[in-house]
Amino acid sequence: MTGYFRHLLRTLAVGCVLVSASVGPAGQTGSFPAATGTGGPQTADQMAQLWDQFRTAQLKASQISGKVRQLNAQIAAETARRAQLQGQIAAYTNQIRQAEARRASDVAQLDLTDQHLGALEAGIGDTTGKAADMKSQVQARTIDMYKQGPSTYLGMLLSAHSFRDFLSRLHFIGGVVGTDRSKLTALDQLNTQLGQQKGQAQQSRTEIAAAKAAVEAETAKITALRVGVTQASQTLAGAVADDQAAVAEEQGLLKDVEAEKATYLAAMAKLAGESSSITGMLRARQINQSYAWAGRKVPWPVTGPISSPFGPRINPIFGTPEFHTGLDIAVDYGVPVKAAEAGQVVSSGLMEGYGNVVIIDHGGALATLYAHMSSLSVRQGQTVTRGQQIGAIGCTGLCTGPHLHFETRIGGVPVQPLNMLP
């Protein structure tokens, strides 16, 4: 958008010369009359109307230019803010993705732990059943031994009929005792295994509780991140809307520039031919004159600082390049303007861009021009001497403040005045 606006202003300013630079380089074509004081608006009211048109368009273009610069800065800021928000959304989205991956891992671990706990609980049930059965057998055997009394095994041995029978009974008793001992050992082992399984089950339950807490924490974090994404997205939508509003406003301002461009160019089109008209008039007068001013100097017509030099310059309103055909010398209203050299006044009157202007032909192919004066002290055809007052400082025609626009022309072509001034 900024590039388009610059292009538009550049197009608007092409051929436009502000202030006393309302004349272009030599050779420019146009439809203005020669600088003889005839043709074009000649009354103060007509000149004031033309000046108002020019200044209105110039002021509006300047204001619009500043407003568009502000809008461009606003759009740049909104673009940066939008990029920041997009970065936040991307970061939130990445964090959500990571949190969901961690939650998925926690859920998978929770499932494994649940399966392990199920297996442990099944094992505990089996072991508990075995332990209960073994305990029942041991209790039954204990009760049976209690009923038979402590002399049961001894009576069996003493009632043996032979030594072989004794040994057989002794072996039987040993087997019974061994079986009882094995049952007791097995019961003890089952109880130990049951304790271990219960411990593992408790650990699994603890792990499951931790995994559930981790899942809940990740879920809460994901929820918070999604809230952040929603808020950032809403803010981003607002930033986009602001951008669109600023762009729409800027486009409206650009349309205003286009409208003011027509007004501005309408006023400036009337001024484009003055310089070429002056060039043509002077060339016709000086066609048989040889240049006779090499190495010679003429005095300054007024004393003051140069506010705008001769040659290429940047348009102060539009920032575009243009050509200034003379020197602007800043002087207060009413200060006398003096002829730089003796000669004949070939034009003295009102022109649209130059305002009140005097042109003097000094012979030897040299002419000088004095523009924007508030009043004229000489008339066309009059012969003047060096230093003679020809008018007074003012701001007529297209100008922005009191000054003298001073030109030196050789064969009608504007040249650098400083080359002829001391």
Residue 212 confidence (pLDDT): 76
Answer for the pair 339, 386: CB distance below 8 angstroms, yes or no: yes
In this prediction, the residues of the chain whose per-residue pLDDT falls under 70 are 1-59, 61, 85, 120, 130-131, 134-135, 138-139, 141-142, 144-158, 170, 173, 176-177, 180, 183, 187, 190, 194, 257, 260-272, 315-321
| Contact partners, residue 42, CB within 8 Å, separation at least 6 | 349, 350
pLDDT for the residue 74? 73
Residue 264's pLDDT is 59
Judge whether 2-40+272-419 and 84-246 match in fold: no
pLDDT at res. 141: 64
Q: Give the whole-number percent of the chain exceeding pLDDT 70.
A: 70
Which own/partner pairs from 104-110 qualify as long-range (CB within 8 Å, at least 24 positions apart)?
Answer: 106/211, 106/214, 106/215, 106/218, 107/211, 107/215, 109/207, 109/211, 110/208, 110/211, 110/212, 110/215
Amino acid residing at 243: D
- Residue 173 is predicted with a pLDDT of 67
pLDDT at 317: 47
Any idea where the domains of the chain sit in the sequence? Answer: 2-40+272-419, 84-246
> pTM to 2 decimals?
0.49
Predicted pLDDT of residue 206: 84
pLDDT in tens, 16-69: 333 333 333 333 333 333 333 333 344 445 555 565 666 666 667 677 777 777
Return the pLDDT at 298: 97
Distances (CA, A) of 395 to 24, 42, 353, 392: 19, 16, 11, 10
**Is CATH 3.30.360.10 the right assignment for the domain spanning 2-40+272-419?**
no
| Burial annotation 103-132 (CB, 10 A radius, 16+ → b, else e) | beebeebbeebeebbeebeebbeebeebbe
Q: Is CATH 1.10.287 the right assignment for the domain spanning 84-246?
A: yes
Contact 365, 279 (CB under 8 A): no
